[in-house]
Structure 1
Amino acid sequence: MDRATKLPDHKRRYLSIALLAAVLAGTQMLGAWRDGHALFINSSASLAHWAFFVESGQMPRKGDLAFFRAPQTALVSRHFGRTAPPFGKIVYGVAGDVVSRSSNIVAVNGKPVAMLKPASRFGERLLPGPTGVIPDGCYFMATPHRDGLDSRYADIGFVCRRQIIGTGKAIL
């Protein structure tokens, strides 16, 4: 490099400091973004996709795919371990909606959304989940899969705000 194109020392220092500040700011922004996002892998057949990009802290709306912590019931622990992984389900009902049951059909606001089975695929008795008006801060979550363990059963029931991890988008 010839002398005419070389930056003076003080300008090189300022440029180096500006570059360092930009790298630090970018690292902090990436860290903050990472703290609010996750990649979840679904190990069950209850959803059509197996990989999800999840934005944590987002409260779901009807039709959203939401991820939550399941209650640690005996059935959940037997199938998923003492610390069950997050569950991902579709939000079919929100606060104020009415969940009803007729025979083995579960409906939200009169629209059928799921079918009940009397027993799990391993023969364990499955108790029906709650019916009636969904309380404030709670959701009815299910999947179209016949073997889905979700709000249609008492072991999951209504999923409430404290259990919600966030909303997700299927990526694979």
Structure 2
Amino acid sequence: MALAQPDSTAPASTGGGIFTRKRVATGALLAMVGLGLGELSDWRAHHALLINASQSLPDWAFLVERGRFPSRGDFVVFAPGYDPLVRRHFGARPPAFVKIAYGVPGDRVDRAGHEVRVNGRTVARLKPRTRQGEVLVPGPLGTVPKGCVFTASPHKDGFDSRYAAIGFVCRDRLIGSAEAIL
């Protein structure tokens, strides 16, 4: 009795069954992409990119860390509120503002003439009117309340906490702290 010879025309076995190298590599790649997208989604939930269109600060692009309460000197991003002056100049849905946190809870805000001071240091000057002639009401004085900051910018036409239309920026309007990136 002769032994059966293998059929030389049958395809050779690749030896991997359903777990071929190509399938494993594809699966690993898809898993890495999925994890990467998950991390990106988590990052986006806590961060944002803000483009500053005003001239109140020299920087124009900021990386925002949402929900982080600013320290003195940090850039702070906030919703300006809906004061009639804000609405006239920035629309019914004003964009986020970015300014500098000059005063933090417990700091003292006062005025000497047109100079606005925080803890005795001049941080801004008041103007009596906008460039369009609208009256600018001076902002709050006294101790910066818990959960709030006093914002300002070095620009002479800055529109910030020095005026009542903005006032102290408290947690309900605070978006987060930011770093200038450009």
Normalising by structure 1, we get a TM-score of 0.92
Q: 2:139 corresponds to which residue? A: 129
Distance 1:101 1:117 in 2: 13
Gaps of 5+ in 2: 1-11
What aligned pairs does 1:82-161 form with structure 2 within 5 A after superposition?
A: 82-161=92-171
> How much is the aligned-residue C-alpha RMSD, in angstroms?
1.7
| Structure 1 stretch displaced more, 17-26 or 129-138 | 17-26
Deviation, structure 1 residue 9: 3.4
1:50-92, Cα deviation, whole Å (9 max, x unpaired): 1112121111110000100011011000100010000000000
Q: 1:69 corresponds to which residue? A: 79
Q: 1:38 corresponds to which residue? A: 48
Query: How many percent identity over aligned positions?
Result: 52
| Number of aligned positions between the proteins | 169
Distance 1:15 1:45 in 2: 51
Q: Which amino acid aligns with 1:93?
A: G
Deviation, structure 1 residue 143: 0.1
Distance 1:132 1:71 in 2: 21
Deviation, structure 1 residue 14: 4.2
Q: 1:9 corresponds to which residue? A: 17
Distance 1:94 1:167 in 2: 13
Gaps of 5+ in 1: none
Match of 1:76, SS state, is helix
Distance 2:54 2:109 in 1: 25
Deviation, structure 1 residue 10: 4.3
Q: Which amino acid aligns with 2:82?
A: Q
Q: 1:47 corresponds to which residue? A: 57
Distance 2:126 2:31 in 1: 58
Runs of 4+ aligned structure 1 residues displaced above 4 Å come to: none
Normalising by structure 2, we get a TM-score of 0.87
1:15-65, Cα deviation, whole Å (9 max, x unpaired): 443332222111111111122221111111111111112121111110000
Deviation, structure 1 residue 156: 0.3
